Chain A
Amino acid sequence: MEFAELIKTPRVDGVVLHRPFMPTVEGTLCLTGHHLILSSRQDTTEELWLLHANIDSTEKRFVGSLGTIIVKCKDLRVIQLDIPGMEECLNIASSIEALSTLDSVSLMYPFFYRPLFEVIEDGWQSFVPEESFKDLESMTDEWRLSEVNKDFSLCPSYPSLLTVPKDIDDESLCKAASFRHGGRFPVLSYYHKKNAMVMMRAAQPLTGTNGRRCKEDEKLINATLCAGKRGYIIDTRTIAVAQQAKARGGGFEQEANYPQWRRIHKAIERSNVLQDSLIKLVEACNDQSHSMDRWLSKLEASNWQSNVKEILTTACLAAQCIDREGASVLVHGTEGTDSTLQVTSLAQIILDPACRTIRGFEALIEREWLQAGHPFQQRCAQSAYSNGKPRSEAPVFLLFLDCVWQILRQFPCSFQFNENLLIMLFEHAYASQFGTFLGNCVAERGKLQLSQKTVSLWSWVNRPQELERFLNPLYEPNNLVIWPSVAPQSLLLWEGVFLRWNRSTKCLDEAYQEMVHIIEYNKELQNKVNSLRRQLAQLETEDSPLQTP
């Protein structure tokens, strides 16, 4: 298909762009296959380059022959375009509509994007399972890398290589897979070096109403326990939800069959509830006429902050079981692709200082989200302004990022990266020139040949020029476990995302610059002093033989 067919009017002059907290811009609007561009042809004003994929929904209004299109973006920005001429406006509106809702992945921008920078390190190769297994091998020999899912037939949403207990053979894995939703049998998520405890993740067991059991599944997870020690199963669903799942063939681990495990149920919400929560939150944030009472009640009613609290609490629980109780943990919900990953990845940020570095955090996202089979394409198809019928959209990843931000805010010196990295990941998960977040699992990405046909986000982020923007000037490596507070008063609204377009950030940006300045000045002084000290020491050693009587 040619994009040209979808573009009814490629260009309109005299279009006025309105953005909150920014001066209006008048210029020429151009539509290309992947972008909406507004150019004023003046050097001083900024141009607008908007990816069609970033457009969540549009509205049009007419006053006489002047048409107005309100464009609501997945990054939560809302812009207004005043377009002279009714026909032009209708054409532009329908073109945007068509271009922003392309069905075929292979028509997406990442397949057309050519980087203007030289790819020094190919991000597609930056985080391969073999490498992380090598790290594991240096700490323990209890685990092996299994190729049982080589052709993705055992579990379509898992990667081809999986870390499993050494004593469990592939045959047992196949049986365990048939006992777990979507074939997602328990695999290693994290190894806690300090006390050799582990965190595993899986999907729900398919016990059904008649209490089916699977010896291999039991053996598999028991293999991670030390003699005489009990482990914890953290089910991210309430007991009621887990009970209901039985009727649909799912279920949870029965005490009788898993006597060495203690099961704890938590209450992390499911995808459609989360999507609704996001829509309500953004609605509340965008209405500036709200009185204080109305704002607080809308914020409360959105339940967003409750969701953040629940996810963080569960992650803290998992981390606590491992670090404080010295027990191994298995985490699952229903499919094991959403709340499970929120919990396992956040627990690692709490426990493992490596995850708080930029590289380590990227590796975490690669391992626990992309390779673990979080269905990014489905979940991020629409954002807070979706007005159509919800399919499988849900801000699962955004909630994870929000939780990371909460921890980062409470431990501002313990992360190598800053808030900008989190916001950037949010943007790119929803619309990007890079292929990283396309597809729903490793198998799909392979079929799409993303690593050959698109550029990886990491290839761009890890360039020194880009990295600088994401570095936290306050970072002091902290090798401890960090326990965030989950008290409601400690959890704040993530203004960097949700109020980003609703206020001027000039003063806050200035404060950040000031902070950078103070720290850089300190480093500069340190360098000078060190060099002088060295000179001094040198002079002293040269002088001293002469001075000795």
Chain B
Amino acid sequence: MEHIRTPKVENVRMTDRLTPRKSTVGTLYLSSTHTIFVENSEARKEIWVLHSLVYNVERLPTNPSGSPLIIRCKNFLVYRLLIPQEKDCLDVLASLTRLSRPERYGELFCFSFNPNLDKELREKAWGFIDLKAEFNRMGIPSNLWHVTAANHEYRLCDTYPSELFVPKSASPAVIVGSAKFRSRGRLPILSYFHRDTSASICRSSQPLSGFSARSSDDEQMLQAIMKSNPVSELMYVVDTRPKLNAMANRAAGKGYEIEDHYTNTKLQFIGIENIHVMRNSQQKLIDVGELVAPSMSDFLWGLENSGWLKHIKAVLDAGIFIAKAVAEDGVSVLVHCSDGWDRTAQACSVASVLLDPYYRTIKGLMVLIEKDWVSFGHKFSHRYAHLDGDPKEVSPVMDQFLECVWQLMQQFPCAFEFNERFLIQLHTHIYSCQYGNFIGNCQKERRDLRLQERTHSLWPHLWENRAEYTNPLYRTDHSQTQGVLKPLTTAYCFKFWKGMYGRAEKSVASHQSPADCLNVVREESQQLEEELSTHQEVPRETDAGQETCPTEGEENFRGEEDQQAV
């Protein structure tokens, strides 16, 4: 509370830049966790903005009508306020600037957020996503793969989970040796097993090969992975970086696998740019969304200049390469980048979405994010600036994964159980720090923070509200739901994600959504089904066999027409 200089400002105007007549006047409140705007209108509409979602606060020069303040959020919503007194504006600015940049984990909202769950329910909620069950679901043959205890207490690699799936044929010495030859000890481990072909997706960080170094343990590790796929005598190593970047790393004693040292291994570079390029690219994209009355050329030029869609395509291409290798060629793939927690996570998870229909369900996507991102040490708190820290660590890695999924949804409208809203909601929660799931940078850190005791899990909350996130076109028995997705990646297939990046202006929001209409229709159908089943029980009891008579249908049709005419 000590950071709040003024808890309440009256007669604040919330403005809409495109349609000024949609502006509203109300009272602004600052709490320790939220900025709250309450409209003066009779409806007393409220807007709540989490401090942890605030990306920046900008004050424009005071003009005769007041002091303008712009609050930009990490989920790309923008609020424009006009505060009557300059002093109040400065106070709000100072308070929000401090409140939106917590310095310690303890200040984060998740530690004070209390949705009134008792202890038992909270614990149960944390068990909602069970990765052991997920590896079981994959049908991993226990004669080929097993869980190693090598990383017990995070001895081997402090950014990996404690339980790791490795080839059964890899000895403990090989495992330790391989970890030593990899950046930050992130040795090759199993991420996904494809039952249909027995091929697997493994992941790691870059090898410490430099210009000449080699490790027989690491080479044996890759052999073991290849041999865990009995039908194939080849494996791919996918280095998701541009080749030039990978080569530059050799000078620092890192680099990539020399094909001569790893028998029957093919190395493939994909060319996803690093986190700094992506951060700048997204900023340019956001700027495009904020242009005032842009012309079509401004917009298209800005979109091109941002390079964003090019990067999305690169990530999707990586996923497609891996999925094709696994599903069509039946070849196992080891994926890595530099540290193996950004581009690697993107490539593996996109490939998994393409390969396995389960990951296209609501629960499945949660599981995938928990596995490929949370458990394998994607640095959420660094990447999404949960704490005030090094701005160079921040990058929209997860944003890009979610967008790849969205781009796929455009091509395969029936293939996903969830809708766009689900992706946007996930995106918001990754940044918001309301739930404990994405706090910290790895499993060890989360354990040390005792997050499961002190915070709540997002997943059951989303699951309870899944009706809101359901794609009406999804059917489990639909052909698009089955099998591997093979998207087209011609440049024109990639679109600007308006639902995500076009939210700076409220008035640009879509007017009607077919999916929402369909959901309403489907809900109504469900109610009708229920009514029908109760109705049908009555006539059956009294007058069996007279449920419908042939003329009824016509009469009803006429009845409906009459209603419309009225």
Contact = CB atoms under 8 A, between A and B. Distances in A.
B310 interface: yes
B304 A297 contact: yes
B64 interface: no
Contact of A531 (B298, B502, B555): B555
Given A511-B413, A529-B528, A411 B553 contact: no
A484 B510 CA distance: 9
A288 B492 CA distance: 8
A296 B556 contact: no
A274 B108 CA distance: 56
Interface stretch (A151-159, A334-342, A514-522): A514-522
Interface string A489-512: 111110100010011100110110
Measured as residues with beta carbon below 8 angstroms from the partner, the interface class of chain A is 35 or more
B87 to A, nearest CB: 36
Contact of A295 (B479, B492, B507, B552): B492
Interface in B470-495: 472-473, 475, 478-480, 488, 490-495
A518 B304 contact: no
Interface stretch (A98-106, A376-384, A447-455, A532-540): A532-540
Given A510-B414, A510-B480, A525 B532 contact: yes
A67 to B, nearest CB: 29
Contacts of A234: none
14 contacts: A285-B492, A290-B490, A291-B491, A297-B301, A297-B304, A299-B300, A303-B297, A411-B511, A412-B512, A488-B299, A503-B488, A504-B488, A507-B411, A511-B473
A149 interface: no
Contact of B559 (A507, A508, A530): A530
A499 B528 contact: no
A487 B538 CA distance: 55
Interface in A271-308: 285, 288, 290-297, 299-300, 303, 305-306, 308
Contacts of A508: 413
A96 B532 CA distance: 61
B166 interface: no
Contact of B498 (A295, A413, A476, A490): A490
Contacts of B490: 288, 290, 502-503
Interface in B501-531: 501-502, 505, 507-508, 510-514, 517-518, 521-522, 524-525, 528-529, 531
B536 interface: yes
A488 B538 contact: no
A292 B494 CA distance: 9
B358 to A, nearest CB: 19
A528 B532 contact: yes
Contacts of B294: 487-488
A511 B521 CA distance: 16
A498 B220 CA distance: 53
A85 interface: no
Contacts of A305: 296, 300
B518 A489 contact: no
A413 B475 CA distance: 23
Given A297-B301, A511-B414, A518-B518, 15 more contacts: A292-B304, A292-B491, A296-B303, A296-B309, A299-B492, A300-B297, A412-B514, A487-B294, A489-B299, A515-B518, A525-B532, A527-B557, A528-B532, A529-B531, A532-B547
A526 B413 contact: no
A223 B501 CA distance: 49
B268 to A, nearest CB: 19
Contacts of A484: 511
A292 B300 contact: no
Contact of B511 (A299, A410, A503): A410
Contacts of B491: 290-292, 294-296
Contacts of A410: 510-512
Task: Tell me the dominant secondary structure on chain A's binding face.
Answer: helix
Contacts of A294: 491
Contacts of B289: 489
Interface residues of B, number: 71
A507 B522 CA distance: 21
A499 B411 CA distance: 13
Contacts of A485: 507-508, 511
A489 B499 CA distance: 10
Nearest to A514: B473
Contacts of B309: 292, 296
A532 B498 contact: no
A482 interface: yes
A309 interface: yes
A297 B296 CA distance: 12
A528 B547 CA distance: 9
Contacts of B411: 507
Q: Please give me the 9 A-B residue pairs with the lowest Cβ-Cβ distance, nearest first.
A: A488-B299, A295-B491, A511-B413, A296-B304, A300-B300, A292-B310, A531-B552, A525-B528, A306-B296
Contact of B301 (A300, A499, A507, A534): A300
A474 interface: yes
B542 interface: yes
Contacts of B307: 292-293
B545 to A, nearest CB: 13
A40 interface: no
A510 B475 CA distance: 12
B512 A411 contact: yes
A466 B378 CA distance: 55
Interface in B281-299: 289, 294-299
B539 interface: yes
Contacts of B498: 489-490
Contacts of A371: none
Nearest to A487: B508
A58 interface: no
B313 interface: yes
Contacts of B502: 487, 489-490
A515 B514 contact: yes
A357 interface: no
A414 interface: yes
Contacts of A309: 295-296
Nearest to B309: A292
B463 interface: no
B492 A488 contact: no
A141 to B, nearest CB: 27
Interface in A420-477: 474, 476-477
Most buried by B among A491, A515, A536: A515
Given A487-B505, A490-B498, A533 B535 contact: yes
Contacts of B536: 532
A492 B495 contact: yes
Contact of B475 (A411, A514, A536, A539): A514
Given A292-B313, A502-B490, A529-B528, A474 B478 contact: no
Nearest to A510: B414
Nearest to A476: B517
Nearest to A511: B413
B412 interface: yes
Contacts of B480: 507, 510
A535 B553 contact: no
A532 B532 contact: yes
Given A507-B411, A536-B535, A493 B529 contact: no
Q: Which of A292, A508, A527 has the most CB of B within 10 A?
A: A292
A535 B540 CA distance: 12
B327 to A, nearest CB: 18
B512 A507 contact: no
Given A296-B303, A531-B555, A490 B508 contact: yes
Interface in B80-95: none
Contacts of A521: 525
A416 to B, nearest CB: 12
A508 B487 CA distance: 12
Contact of A474 (B495, B514, B538): B514
Contacts of A511: 413-414, 473
A308 B300 CA distance: 14
A507 B508 contact: no
